[in-house]
Every structure is written in structure tokens, then in C-alpha cells.
Amino acid sequence: MRMRIGARLFDGPGPFIMGIVNATPDSFSDGGRYLDPAAAVAHALRLAEEGADLVDLGGESTRPGAPPVAEDEEIRRVVPVVEALRARAFALPISIDTTKAAVARAALAAGADLVNDVAGLADPALARVVAEAGAPVVLMHSRGTPADMQSRASYGDLVAEVRAELAEALLRVAAAGVAPERVILDPGIGFAKTAEHGFELLARLGELRALGRPLLVGPSRKSFIGKVTGAPVGERLPGTLAAVTAAVLAGVELIRVHDVAAARQAAQVAAAIRDAPRTS
């Protein structure tokens, strides 16, 4: 991976850790804890201290069944956080997690550096905002909306279809003027995917390397972990770390997590295994 995001050049195989800041009342794991801008800012600063390489700020929950949020309300939740972090000379790149052009435009103007779109820039207006800003973007695979995506979790060959649909997204955004070298891809664990699909994606991540772009994976605390362990959301850190390890061993460059310090340690050990010399 070689990509400049904000003031930082991300150069090398990583893994790089993206810390999650949910400025929402209803996210599946920590909804409401960081809805207040001051709390969100404090959390972002804490994630930086724990070793995050960048932070991902969202003002709308994308969990299955989540209701949509009006764009002015989403802007109200996230822009003050970006402004406050930049006023404090926050050194890390800030990703804005949104599907809305107006939100992305406002956040980028306030100092955000990257757009993370769970809809894969399906909205032409958002694609234009990203292209005009020259911003890096994460294109995630999903189908439908949070309200109906789990009803669309039907595949013949899961990874082949995810790969094909991500390839289509790459062509679509290139046609909108988004430079391919600014794109990161996310297979979308938990988005229009069953728990079984989540494990299959982790097992077959290497097949997505053919798309030629850096990969981001976000397994943190998700329901596929609970499916096999029975652990509630707040007790899924060990399962998350197992998924992080699998992703790093598969060559994934960016890992999106809630628990940065623990994930960073797991990722460092996994990377050391990945990069260890093979001698006979």
C-alpha cells in the first residue's frame, strides 16, 4: 500500500489500524457513548494514544435495521468533532463514514481526509464530491440499505460475487473521476452477509487481491463472532482479535476496530508471523 491520506503517507504492507468513533445514539456496540462532541473528541484522542493510525468518524448507524438519519442531523453530529480535533492539531488522518454527499462535503471542508462509504459510492453526487476533493475513499461491498440488506445475503459463490461487484464499483467511480490509486476496498463483513459469509470472507480474503487495491476489513465485535462463541457484543474482543489475525495473515493493509491497543498488538504479532523468513 502506498497512499497519502491527509498529511500522512501510508507506505508498506501495514497493518494500519483505523479506530472507530461512533457519534451516534444507536450503533450496535457503543451507541450513545460518544454522541456528545466533547466525548467523541476525547475518544478520538484516546484512540490516538492507543496507537491508531487514523480514526473513522460516523454520525449514522449502519447496523442491520438501523433507521436513516437526515443529512443536517448527521452533519450536526460529525462536523463539530472534526473541527474540534483539527483545532487541537490532531495529527491523525480523519475518515468520515457516510453515504451522503452533503455530509462528506461538510466534513472534508472541516478537515476530514478520507471518505468511508458503506454503499461503495453508489450515489453519483457523493462520487462527484470525492472526485472534486481528490480525497481517498473506501468502497465497501454491500447490497441494499441497512433496513433491508440482510434479506439480500444470498450468493452462489460469495467471494466471486463480492469481487465482481467491487470491480464494478471501481469502474463506476473511475468514470466519475475518482482516481483508482485513491481507492481502498472493503469486502463488507456483516453487510448483506450472514455469519457464515463472514467466516468465508476471512478465509478467502486472498482472492480479493486480484482487484489490485489495498484492503480494509472491519470485524470488530460483529455478530459473526457472537454466532460461534455465544458472546454478547461487549465480550467479543478475543474473537475480534482472532479475526484481525486472520486478516493480517491474508495481507490486509487496514483494520477497522473499536479496541485499538489490543488490536494493534494482535496485528503486530500477526504481521511478524506473516513476514517471518521461511527456512527449511
Catalytic residue among 163, 182, 213, 222: 222
Half-sphere exposure of 48 (CA within 13 A, CB side): 16
Strands (E), the chain: 2-5, 8-11, 16-22, 54-58, 94-97, 114-117, 137-140, 183-186, 216-217, 254-257
Q: Is 128 an annotated catalytic residue?
A: no
Q: By CB neighbour count within 10 A (0-12 exposed, 13-18 middle, 19+ buried), where does 175 fall?
A: exposed
Catalytic residue among 221, 236, 256, 264: 256
- Residue 227: C-alpha distances to residues 59, 198, 202, 209 (Å): 27, 11, 15, 27
C-alpha cell at 266: 494482535
C-alpha 151: how far from its chain's center?
22
Q: Phi first, then psi: what are they for 277, rounded to 5°?
A: -65, 145
CB neighbours of 230 closer than 8 A, spacing ≥ 6? Answer: none
Q: Is 100 an annotated catalytic residue?
A: no
Q: Which of 156, 157, 226, 234 is nearest to 190 (CA)?
A: 226
Q: What does the chain come to in residues?
A: 280
Query: Dmax of the chain from CA atoms?
Result: 61
Q: Phi first, then psi: what are they for 51, rounded to 5°?
A: 110, 15
Active site residues: 222, 256
